[in-house]
């Protein structure tokens, strides 16, 4: 449970009722930011900055958006919080952090019309019991008036991270989702699959034409961006044409994932985030969405009115999921419309707790919680577990012992410590978390100071005199080319 001090600190900077207020401000700031430097929210970056001040809400609103005058009696109250009721940041909390000049996600070649062209991907596959949210989010994105295309893995592909499908050709099908068939249990689901294109059958409730690809989430993301001719070409020549080097899409949305993606362990393993980052690496802005399910009521919900974990009945959980999809679509639109204010962001990661707090959502900027894996695999024998695919090479003997994926998630799902300002802190307090990401690994001590050398000095002889020679020998040896990764790898087994 939050301490009284922590609760008050959050409440001092929170204004609720967000979706009624359109983004935009005269000052060019529409999103209130916490003082954590952007780099600390980047994927994989260690946060060495001081502890952050209390977070502000990502968006703020009232039922009507009005300008505040100097004589307005409410101005001082809201200025103390740092946000005017119309969403403009006051000078007391205006973001003064340095901004990077480079743009991580270049605009696509799309026409820039008022109707964004969006690619929806995920790692859970088409509607099923393990992918119950994708159809709902698709409908909400379409309700925004957006042009939405869908390319999904043909079945559940979680924990794929950035893996692409490289072994052999990748098959794909056409899929015609039935309205309301969120869990794939409709009697006509099998007829939704087709090996070739066909008209959408409105009489049986079909609402769209999707692509299902027998590949990883990143494969779905990249092929969706660049292989539109193969999927939707009218002639054989068009379908067999080389992939384009440009894409018509303005935005890639990945998810909603069936489960949270909080913390570095989940984030770096996530196929949902992998698909989003693959799009960002292709120069297209992306947003990953993950829905956190709870088997039991998190302890920090104890003081939240009517907050229950999905010990919720199935009907209640469907209502919560529908509300989460509706709100997520609105939040995606806010982030997309305001992206020009944050050009250094390549991808946003949204985590939504599926509990009754989503009825009155509160959103916070967060950084990724730095956590660790526990054991992920358990030993098994072939007698108790299905045999694996044929071993490689084919001459290898048939295995008698196996490891199967059986992760110990106790510390990942229920951490003892909740560092304030992290994504796990937010979701376990019933708040929606938004984290800024860049598609990049972050180097540690990249100027070489960890070796006790001035920046730019050669590391040739610094690691081990037995390997690299003594300092006196260095002057007589050719300068080591630090760009030569192969040579460095040979000498220091990096």
* E strand or H helix at 369: none
* E strand or H helix at 68: none
Domain boundaries, the chain: 372-414, 454-492
What's residue 54's pLDDT? 32
DSSP 124-191: S-SSBTTB-SHHHHHHHHHHTT-EEEEEEESS--TT-TT----SS---EEEE-PBTT-TTS-STTGGG
Q: What is the largest CA-CA distance in the chain?
A: 85
Most trustworthy range by pLDDT among 52-61, 92-101, 321-330, 386-395? 321-330
Extract the tokens encoding 486.
């192969």
Q: What is the pLDDT of residues 413-428, one digit of tens each?
A: 666 677 788 888 888 8
Higher pLDDT, 3 or 388: 388
| 102 confidence band (pLDDT: 50, 70, 90) | very low
Strand bridging mode 432-437 / 347-353 = antiparallel
Please, are residues 19 and 330 in contact by the beta-carbon 8 Å criterion? yes
| 298 confidence band (pLDDT: 50, 70, 90) | low
- Closest by Cα among 126, 169, 174, 118 to 146: 118
Q: What is the pLDDT of residues 14-38, one digit of tens each?
A: 323 333 222 222 222 222 222 222 3
Q: Which residue has the tokens 């989503």?
A: 358
DSSP 389-446: SPPSSTTSPPPSEEEEE----HHHHS-S---TTBHHHHHTTTPEEEEEE-SS---SST
Cα torsion angle, 410, 414, 417, 422, sign: positive
Please, are residues 367 and 41 in contact by the beta-carbon 8 Å criterion? yes
pTM, entire model: 0.65
Q: φ, ψ for residue 378 (rounded to 5)? A: -125, 145
Q: Mean pLDDT over residues 53-65, rounded?
A: 31
The number of beta carbons lying within 10 Å of the beta carbon of residue 37 is: 16
């Amino acid at each position: 449970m939050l301490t009284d001090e922590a609760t008050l600190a959050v409440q001092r900077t929170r204004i609720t009722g967000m979706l009624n207020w359109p983004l935009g401000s005269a000052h060019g700031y529409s999103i209130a930011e916490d003082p954590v430097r952007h780099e600390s929210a980047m994927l994989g970056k260690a946060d060495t900055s001081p502890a952050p001040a209390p977070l502000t809400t990502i968006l703020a609103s009232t039922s009507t958006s009005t300008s505040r005058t100097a004589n307005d009696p409410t101005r001082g109250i809201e200025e103390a919080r740092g946000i005017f009721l119309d969403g403009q940041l006051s000078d007391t909390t205006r973001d003064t952090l340095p901004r990077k000049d480079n743009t991580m996600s270049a605009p696509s070649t799309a026409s820039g019309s008022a109707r964004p062209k969006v690619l929806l991907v995920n790692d859970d596959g088409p509607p099923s019991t393990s992918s119950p949210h994708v159809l709902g989010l698709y409908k909400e994105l379409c309700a925004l008036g957006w042009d939405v295309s869908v390319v999904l893995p043909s079945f559940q592909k979680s924990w794929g991270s950035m893996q692409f499908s490289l072994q052999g050709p990748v098959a794909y099908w056409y899929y015609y989702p039935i309205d309301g068939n969120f869990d794939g249990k409709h009697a006509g689901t099998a007829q939704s699959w087709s090996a070739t294109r066909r008209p959408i059958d409105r009489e049986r409730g079909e609402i769209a034409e999707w692509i299902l690809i027998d590949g990883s989430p990143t494969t779905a993301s990249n092929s969706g961006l660049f292989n539109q001719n193969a999927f939707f070409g009218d002639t054989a020549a068009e379908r067999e044409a080389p992939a384009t080097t440009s894409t018509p899409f303005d935005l890639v949305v990945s998810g909603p994932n069936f489960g949270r993606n909080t913390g570095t362990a989940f984030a770096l393993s996530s196929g949902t985030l992998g698909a989003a980052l693959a799009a960002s690496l292709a120069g297209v802005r992306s947003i990953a969405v993950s829905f956190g399910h709870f088997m039991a009521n998190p302890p920090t919900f104890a003081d939240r009115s009517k907050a229950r974990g999905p010990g919720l009945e199935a009907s209640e959980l469907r209502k919560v999921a529908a509300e989460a999809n509706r709100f997520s679509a609105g939040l995606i639109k806010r982030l997309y419309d305001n992206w020009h204010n944050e050009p250094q962001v390549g991808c946003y990661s949204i985590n939504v707790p599926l509990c009754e707090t989503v009825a009155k959502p509160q959103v916070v900027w967060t950084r990724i919680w730095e956590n660790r894996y526990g054991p992920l695999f358990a030993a098994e024998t072939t007698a108790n577990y299905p045999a694996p695919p044929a071993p490689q090479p084919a001459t290898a003997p048939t295995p008698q012992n196996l490891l199967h994926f059986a992760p110990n998630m106790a510390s990942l799902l229920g951490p003892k410590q909740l560092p304030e300002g992290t994504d796990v802190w937010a979701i376990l307090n019933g708040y929606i978390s938004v984290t800024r990401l860049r598609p990049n690994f972050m180097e540690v001590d990249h100027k070489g100071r960890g070796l006790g050398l001035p920046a730019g000095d050669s590391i040739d002889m610094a690691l081990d005199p037995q390997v690299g020679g003594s300092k006196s020998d260095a002057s007589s040896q050719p300068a080591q080319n630090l760009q030569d990764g192969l040579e460095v790898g040979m000498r220091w087994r990096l």
